Amino acid sequence: MKFPLKIYDNYSLVQKNTLGLPSIARYYAEVNSVAELQTALVFARERQLPVIPLGGGSNVVLGDFLDALVVHVNLKGRTVLSRDPDCVRVRAEAGENWHEFVLWSLDNQACGLENLSLIPGNVGAAPIQNIGAYGVELTDYFLSLEAINLETGLVEDFDRQRCGFGYRDSVFKREKRDQYIIVSVTLDLDVTLKPNLGYGQLGDLLARRLGNKSPSAIDISQAVCDIRREKLPDPSEVGNAGSFFKNPEVSQSEMDRLKQAYPDIVAYPLGQNWKLAAGWLIDQAGLKGVREGCVGTYQKQALVLVNHGGATGRDVLSFSRQVQQRVNDKFGVQLEREPRLYMEDVDKIIR
């Protein structure tokens, strides 16, 4: 069968992932519409190939060779669907850059995403990870999404309940893993700003800048960007995948144990439990700014693993395991990786 969509073989992905890892896809296609994506899925089904969706490439660790069809989801479009006195309903296609979408929403007097400014990646990846920062998560404003079923090629709707959101988690990382590709996301944003300033350095920075003046959504977005730029490396300069580990959750009894041993431990209440600052744990384990070969932790933020040049996916995975072991040895706490790992055997994804 002749396919109208351009599909490349033995395609280099080194420029398609923010860690800058060398990786070759057996097949690669860039899709700009739902119809093109459906065509790509037919190609993969006929050859019995796994399908790996790729957006901004910011939350993945790629192996040397991916025996699969890698699909770059490049669907574009941002729309204000409706507006009433309390809510602005917006829709974005999966290939839109997340940060540009946030700025667009603020330009359209739609508030809520300002704390999520400058998170790397595209809109389509946001629900998979249930991205969050500075006390706000995507689920707080999520209405629905559309996703293509890889087996049937049909578009299905997912509401919040069906997505099964959790902390940096969703049904797309669990029981629906590798079964769907997200093509659009719809959010209900606020007409009136409801500032969330109680997490991390954000409130302190805005107080220094504005005094007693109430911040605007733009003020909050700019402050978040400044904090992130100060702590996190630019992938165009230093290969990285952003925060590499989740902030671990512990029980009250476990928190009491840790607090007794480490009075300065950084943690935040989370219902009946506590969320620990993974970066602090890694730092206190003596791993901030450490380098082993081509891989290391960022000197300004231990939560970020960086490729100093020449690293492979296996190098990153090996170093991340050493970080997990050191933290577990010192604190008795197990860190969980955030990025999705695609190694050589794509049918045996390393979790």
Question: Cα 348 to the chain's mean position, in Å?
Answer: 22
Which one of the listed residues 91, 168, 337, 340 is annotated catalytic?
A: 168
Cβ burial 210-236 (10 Å sphere, 16+ → b, else e): eeeeebebebbbbbbbebbeebbbebe
With contact defined as beta carbons under 8 Å apart, do 199 and 268 qualify?
A: yes
Give rounded-to-5 percent helix, strand, coil for the chain: 30, 30, 40
Which one of the listed residues 243, 320, 337, 340 is annotated catalytic?
A: 243
Supply 276's token pair.
Answer: 């620990």
Q: Which amino acid is at 338?
A: E
What CA–CA distance (Å, rounded) separates 50 from 68? 5
What CA–CA distance (Å, rounded) separates 89 from 189? 6
Q: Give the dihedral sign, CA 42/43/47/53.
A: negative
Quick check: helix, strand or coil at residue 257? helix
Assess whether 33 carries a catalytic annotation.
no
Assess whether 243 carries a catalytic annotation.
yes
Which one of the listed residues 30, 93, 137, 338 is annotated catalytic?
A: 338
281 contact partners, CB below 8 Å, separation of at least 6: 248, 327, 330, 331, 333, 335
What CA–CA distance (Å, rounded) separates 323 from 263? 22
Assess whether 338 carries a catalytic annotation.
yes
Contacts 24+ apart (CB under 8 A), 174-181: 178/50, 178/51, 178/150, 178/349, 179/149, 179/150, 179/151, 180/147, 180/148, 180/149, 180/150, 180/156, 181/37, 181/51, 181/53, 181/71, 181/73, 181/94, 181/124, 181/147, 181/148, 181/150
229 contact partners, CB below 8 Å, separation of at least 6: 118
Question: What are the catalytic residues?
Answer: 168, 243, 338
